[in-house]
Amino acid sequence: MAKTLFAIFGNPVSHSKSPLMHNLAFQGLSYNGCYARFRLEEGEKLKETFFTLGLKGINITVPHKEHAYQACDVLDPFAKKVGAVNTIVEKEGKLYGYNTDAPGFLKAISEFDDVKTVLFLGAGGTAQSTSSILRDEGYKVTLINRSEGRLEKFKESGFDTYTFENFEPNVYDLVINMTSAGLEDESLPAPKEILDAVIPEAKACVDVIYGKETPFLKLAKSYRKPVKDGSDMLLYQGIIAFEYFTEQQFTFNEIRSYMQKAFIL
Ligand code: NDP
């Protein structure tokens, strides 16, 4: 029987761990599926490419999450609310869109006890979906960003927002790097004076970047803070996407037992 095909669309996409994660789970759970990577240059062609390749489902990474949102015929209410889709499943010729980044992130930080206040460094697309789910779960989220423009929609939604220039330090249980600073360079996500003011007061520090120790996490460690990188977020968003791909045939823990092997290979 022909395999059911899945893929990740992005640009670049060569670094993605998703093919390994999903193929390990397909194999381990004896699901007749195959997951590939596809470098999509023009986001406008997402839907056309999906059908040309004969896919059942995709994950979408930078820079196409908004195009993915546009391409869907049916949107899950949370994806609709945050305007970003990272998982699409085809059912009877229609594309159904979901956001699994945010619940994946929520689960990743749920290991920290007694956390109520969170400072986000950064206000991009990932901050948008994760701030929304955290607020729904009762966390108080404050954002600080390098440029003022990106903060507008957060301010309109009622979040406390600051630029580097007008920031007033406070006590935050978690300080989280939501920027791409440190991903391909060695920069900190905010001026060091600001980080030196908030990190010592925090219970722990989290980075959404995975696969390397960023300057932000190095600084947090120098203050002897518990730290966590973006690996669990990546794993958990993948497990939730896999649940959609396979129509809830497997439990979270069953999928995790195979998918997590991608992080030790
Ligand atoms: P966006 O491009 O939407 O936003 C980027 C953000 O980073 C902006 O707030 C931008 O600020 C800020 N920024 C970039 N460079 C710097 C810098 N040198 N100093 C200070 N601020 C900076 O990106 P995303 O929200 O899509 O992604 C953010 C991060 O999340 C990435 O590192 C990505 O890899 C990671 N990620 C991890 C996932 C996981 O599963 N672990 C899943 C999804 C994303 P400004 O407005 O001033 O430009």
**DSSP readout, 60-78?**
E-TT-HHHHHHH-SEE-HH
123 CB near ligand 1 (under 6 Å): yes
In angstroms, the CA 222 to CA 51 distance is 50
pLDDT band of residue 41 (cuts 50, 70, 90) is: very high
pLDDT band of residue 97 (cuts 50, 70, 90) is: very high
In angstroms, the CA 148 to CA 127 distance is 15
Ligand 1: distance of its center to the CA of 259 in Å? 25
In angstroms, the CA 202 to CA 170 distance is 10
Residue with CA at minimum distance from ligand 1 atom 39: 234
Q: What's the token pair of residue 205?
A: 């520090």
Q: What's the token pair of residue 226?
A: 């518990």
For 73-92, b/e burial (b = at least 16 CB within 10 A) is eebbebbebbbbbbbbbbee
Considering the entire predicted model, what is its pTM? 0.96
In angstroms, the CA 175 to CA 183 distance is 17
* % residues pLDDT > 70 (the chain): 100
How many residues comprise the chain?
A: 265
User: Residue 119's pLDDT is what?
Assistant: 98
Q: What's the token pair of residue 104?
A: 């994946």
Tell me the average pLDDT across 132-156: 97
101 CB near ligand 1 (under 6 Å): yes
User: Residue 234's pLDDT is what?
Assistant: 97
* % residues pLDDT > 90 (the chain): 97
Q: Where are the alpha helices (DSSP H) in the chain?
A: 18-28, 46-52, 65-71, 77-82, 101-109, 125-136, 152-156, 192-198, 215-222, 231-245, 252-259
Ligand 1: distance of its center to the CA of 31 in Å? 34
100, 126, 232, 259: residue to mutate for ligand 1 pocket, most atoms within 8 A of CB: 126
Ligand 1: distance of its center to the CA of 248 in Å? 31
Ligand 1: distance of its center to the CA of 184 in Å? 11
- Cα 159 to chain centroid distance, Å, stands at 20
146 CB near ligand 1 (under 6 Å): yes
pLDDT band of residue 247 (cuts 50, 70, 90) is: very high
Ligand 1: distance of its center to the CA of 206 in Å? 14
In angstroms, the CA 242 to CA 27 distance is 13
Tell me the average pLDDT across 28-38: 98
146, 163, 234, 259: residue to mutate for ligand 1 pocket, most atoms within 8 A of CB: 146
User: Residue 1's pLDDT is what?
Assistant: 85
Q: Determine which one of 17, 65, 225, 228 is catalytic.
A: 65
129 CB near ligand 1 (under 6 Å): no
- Bond prior to 189 in cis (omega within 30° of 0): no
Ligand 1: distance of its center to the CA of 112 in Å? 23
User: Residue 265's pLDDT is what?
Assistant: 65
Residue 75 one-letter amino acid: L
151 CB near ligand 1 (under 6 Å): no
Strand 87-91 with 94-98, pairing: antiparallel
183 CB near ligand 1 (under 6 Å): yes
Q: What's the DSSP call for residue 200?
A: G
Tell me whether residue 65 is one of the annotated catalytic residues: yes
- Which residue, 6, 1, 86, is CA-closest to 53? 6
- Cα 226 to chain centroid distance, Å, stands at 21
206 CB near ligand 1 (under 6 Å): no
234 CB near ligand 1 (under 6 Å): yes
